[in-house]
Amino acid sequence: MKKLISLGILLSFLLTFGCTPKNEFKAPPPPGVTVQMPEQKTVTVYASFPGRLVAHDDVDIRARVKGFLKTIDFKDGQHVKKGDLLFTIEPEQYEATVKSADAQLAQAHAALKLAEATLKRNKDAFKTHAVSEVDVLTAEANKDSAAAQVLAAEATLENAKLNLSYTKIHAPFAGRLSRRSLSVGNLVGDGQSTFLTKLVVEAPIDVFFNINERSLLPFLKDDDRTEQIGNTIPPLKLEMADGTLHSEEGKLDYHDPEIDPETGTLRARAVFSNKELHLLPGLYGKILVPNEIENALLVPDLAVQQDMAGTFVLTVNAEHIVESIYVKKGALVGTERIIEDDPTKDRQLTANDRIIVNGLQRARPGISVTATEAQAATETPTDK
């Protein structure tokens, strides 16, 4: 009985495992990747140059004559118009000087009138030999001396009036004032021109920046360039320290006549209207010089890779085989990278190539892949 049971178990084992088919290796399916064609369009890229904002005009208001400060006719930080009264220095002594100079001029005119009459009388008397020729010559010399005294008195009067005018200090142009440096009653102009306040023009406002040689050369080669580089540079933008763009466009209105040999840069100035007074002198920002590129070839920046041989992108050809194409990187536009022509490369990227944008870690040159077209983006990133 035991032998029959053992035989049955053996038969069952043979029936179970003796007919199992042999294992055969099956190659895994090609890895899946997502591809898209480069986008070709006209884009605007910006070259960035750090700059500093400077007042278009500013002046130190100083006392030009000696005296006690009588009035201060503005509030600290006030906006003023051209000609507005700012300070008054006690004018009494200068008014007295004007009156004295006026009296001296009157005396000089009287002396001249007398000298002219004396000369006329001596000339008439000389005709009848009543006086000598020396008397006539003396009278002419007295007349010339009196005329010179008139001129000196007139100059003294003009100088006295000028000093009197300096006792009232007016704004030379429209702008904003800083705080006053002295209070009423202080002695000013005692041997020096005392600083009283500062007047600053806020609108327009200037931005000084340096252009490097590489960025400057394309504008120097422009055939339409005449007297200044500013004729070829389009309107500029200003990026503030927090990354925001100023709403107004600026214009390049000046540059140095030569490049600084120590820095290799050209000092330039842009002017912004600053109508809303959002810009203040002393701020720092970046001048953005636009450059429009027609028919630029753009690919997602994440598809651009780097190895020891250079920069490349992976593409999928018509046979679904991965290929690598070495490219020359251009400017970044949003999340896309401009691909520039590179004559040194045997193979140039074209708008018809299918670039791998997803699944890069599964792709390598020479292998077969399953490519899926990427869905078109619903929004275009802002050019910057």
pLDDT (tens digit per residue) in 116-143? 898 888 888 878 888 788 888 888 899 9
> Stretch 262-277: mean pLDDT, rounded?
92
pLDDT higher than threshold 80 for residue 233? no
Q: Which of 5-14, 263-272, 290-299, 372-381 has the highest mean pLDDT?
A: 263-272
* Cα separation, 109 vs 107, whole angstroms: 5
CA quadruple 87, 92, 98, 99: dihedral sign: positive
pLDDT higher than threshold 90 for residue 80? yes
Locate 97 and state its tokens.
Answer: 């000087």
* Cα separation, 238 vs 1, whole angstroms: 103
CATH number belonging to the domain at 47-57+202-293, selected among 3.10.20.740, 2.40.30.170, 2.10.70.10, 3.10.250.10: 2.40.30.170
Residue labelled with tokens 């000609």 = 83
Q: Where are the domains of the chain?
A: 32-41+295-373, 47-57+202-293, 92-166
| All residues at 6 or more sequence positions from 148 whose CB lies less than 8 Å from its CB, including other chains | none
- Answer whether 353's CB lies under 8 Å from 323's CB: no
> Stretch 251-266: mean pLDDT, rounded?
90
> Stretch 31-54: mean pLDDT, rounded?
91
Look at residue 148 and give its three-state secondary structure.
Answer: helix
**Interval 134-191: pLDDT, tens:** 888 888 899 999 999 999 999 999 999 999 999 999 999 999 999 999 999 999 988 8
Helix axis angle for 133-165 and 92-127, nearest 10°, is 160
Amino acid, single-letter form, for residue 99: K
pLDDT higher than threshold 70 for residue 378? no
What is the pTM assigned to this prediction? 0.69
pLDDT band at 374 (very low <50, low <70, confident <90, very high): confident
| CATH topology classification for 32-41+295-373 | 2.40.420
* Cα separation, 35 vs 320, whole angstroms: 11
CATH numeric code, 92-166: 1.10.287
**Interval 302-352: pLDDT, tens:** 999 999 989 999 999 999 999 999 999 988 888 999 998 888 888 889 999
